[in-house]
A and B are shown apart, each in its own frame.
Chain A
């Protein structure tokens, strides 16, 4: 029965949510462990499969050292599982190489938040949104990528609020914006600096707030003053008049919230883009109050919780750092692990796959991800997987990636296990178990723990249920930034979710951050003077267009869950390339015609969608598909120097008209999609 009183969504859902129940008893579900023998997957018992995994891991670690095994996890798991994955890598296998798919998602936001505020969480509960006079939403097509958020946006609109939308495409959100900055991809820094410029010139900054609660303003001010609206207009392609308008709208408003998502973060300048928007928040003092604040929009079910408890390459539970000796000491005490056994920081996932090609990492365990769709430049990723000595994949459906695995272990869907997740506002919510896993599928935490136990590490892995993992996680996070110590399953049910930090059992949780102080040791927030840098690959004569990628509302992440639900496949069966009519006319391309899109790394064939809703110098392809339909054959694996996020949202490309009549089979018959009777 739906919970129509739950304050976040009131029972509202997106189409993926409405049809999600079809995954649970889907005929494609993996029902028993599989071992690949002579290139064919064969049914195996759990004992066979787990013993094989353990013997291979032991063999590789004896031969090549502890770090020969890599762990690649994900953020669509419950927080208990994400905690366990970090512990499994460090205490179970003793490898430094662990990372998670938030590396393709939230890391730029996280790094920016940590630098500016000293903590990584959205600053306001969503119930603040309707009280904001102005919303500035950058690089977020939240109509399609976060439908349930729209309720709050429209409540704000009903209260007389205005929207400033920053997006190179006219998305369903941007269509309703009062001001839509249709900028060139990855020019946000210039835009944000110009906004700050206008606000400084027109005296719309909050000097008292700046003096009392922030550092490093003068340098930032000097930088911003060099970015006049004309300079920014030149760089971004946004009319300078619109920049001035927006600056006045946001600057003169009493309250305002800035939110952003992958559009500004998936760049080699991802962290800089984030920091430049935070500068605006701080300069106007619009934070830590009802209706004033800042938010990061998460990209997957547990996008916030997954980045809190130690499955990140350099992180320990509670958003602690593996580089900090005190943090190491505390977590080792909780785990009962000798500190010498706790590995040092690992590397980001793209670098991990680089190390696989170099032979430094010989074995891989992946859970909750599908690298052959979601990592940039998948032709290189395929080489990495093929070069592995041993690859074990935990999933509940076969995926484009798991076909390269030596062992596939069947895990659980969202409805078959209990645990907590943390939503985009920092609210910890509970998922309850509604069904038993089908066939021999087992809970993911059981599988991972069982491997660790068979590796001889049962001392650290004695959990009988998710609640026990949660209770250990509470202690492990105690005193950290993401302090869960005062949260319990019962409290979550009682309060409709608990906002962390929640340090004691009496503490009600913290819905709004920064009301009194920021989380740097001096209690002040930090400005960062940011200069504009172009993306790693700029258009040139050979590749004159900017290719950007993103999502559609009908598919979820790498599509492994949604590409087999009939209803969703009918709505959006295949990727397409959005082209502006002016460009289409120049290239003599008709709507619906298949064209070849090529970048320096590869090419793909996509039907053209000729629409005025995109810039003429930019093309867009959604990313949820694999193999020949993957936009990630084309994308640039260049990384942000701080967050190590790949540049999915801007690379140079060109469009070629196809003259041959020989076209590959597209649409429903194509490879990689299993359409089944579950509709």
Chain B
């Protein structure tokens, strides 16, 4: 699975489609969020990253979260799930969700009823832009101009995932410091509001400097 946030148009077709998968009990397990709507229309889909060493499974006292042969981290097994919500709190990506009425943790299982039969998971099959793509590394990566990254550093924890982020940078990993803030990111309340002179004037002035006509 490959996630390319650049391509995401925020249409949430994936969210609608996820609910339709036979194993998802009508719930969607994918999240699409505006990053900072005041600044940009950029949106970001969040699916389970299917870690090589899944934190959710490691912290589960009942060993309810299993990893399939293909490496897919599954929803908690209903008879084992203890309602402790360790996984919900521990996942660095915030993916697993606990459903009180069913006494069950649920998370993306890559639509195993579909993917085991050679179909793409629901989200990747409907995504109109290819922001979510499902396929083999050697099929997808050579077609793209973005770089696949599957290492994430959260403070002291390093997580390797089977889902790749496609990034337009040279970075080998995504680093988030202990406070949950990306390096180089300026908190919105620290952004200086531009001086009140008109937005258009500034734009036109800037460009006229290098104008050849």
Contact = CB atoms under 8 A, between A and B. Distances in A.
A586 B83 CA distance: 51
A415 interface: no
A170 interface: yes
B44 interface: no
Interface string B176-213: 00000000000000000110101110011011101111
Nearest to A616: B199
Contacts, number: 142
A175 B131 CA distance: 15
A163 to B, nearest CB: 12
Contacts of B17: 13, 18
Contacts of B145: 157-158, 160
A242 B207 contact: yes
B125 A144 contact: no
A157 to B, nearest CB: 7
B211 A230 contact: yes
Interface stretch (B34-42, B58-66, B97-105): B34-42
B77 interface: no
B37 A12 contact: no
B40 A241 contact: no
B15 interface: yes
A9 B143 CA distance: 19
Given A151-B130, A154-B129, A244-B212, A172 B41 contact: yes
Interface residues of B, number: 45
Interface in B33-76: 37-43
A2 interface: yes
Interface string B1-40: 0000011111111011101100000000000000001111
Given A150-B129, A151-B130, A610-B38, A244 B211 contact: yes
A571 interface: yes
A14 B198 CA distance: 38
A143 B211 contact: no
A602 interface: no
Residue in A13, A160, A553, A571 whose Cβ sees the most chain B Cβ within 10 Å: A13
A646 interface: no
Interface in B84-123: 119
Contacts of B81: none
B128 A170 contact: no
A172 B10 contact: yes
Contacts of B207: 233, 239-242
B144 interface: yes
Given A18-B16, A176-B6, A581-B193, A613 B41 contact: yes
Interface string A131-151: 000000000000110011111
A15 to B, nearest CB: 5
A609 to B, nearest CB: 7
Contacts of A585: 193, 196
B20 to A, nearest CB: 7
A15 B200 contact: no
Contacts of B8: 172
Contacts of B213: 198, 228-230, 240, 244
A237 interface: yes
Contacts of A172: 8-10, 41-43
A616 B193 CA distance: 14
A150 B128 contact: yes
Contact of B13 (A18, A229, A242, A617): A18
Interface of B: 6-13, 15-17, 19-20, 37-43, 119, 125-130, 143-145, 193-194, 196, 198-200, 203-204, 206-208, 210-213
Q: Which 7 A-B pairs have the closest CB atoms?
A: A239-B207, A241-B207, A147-B128, A143-B9, A18-B16, A150-B129, A172-B9
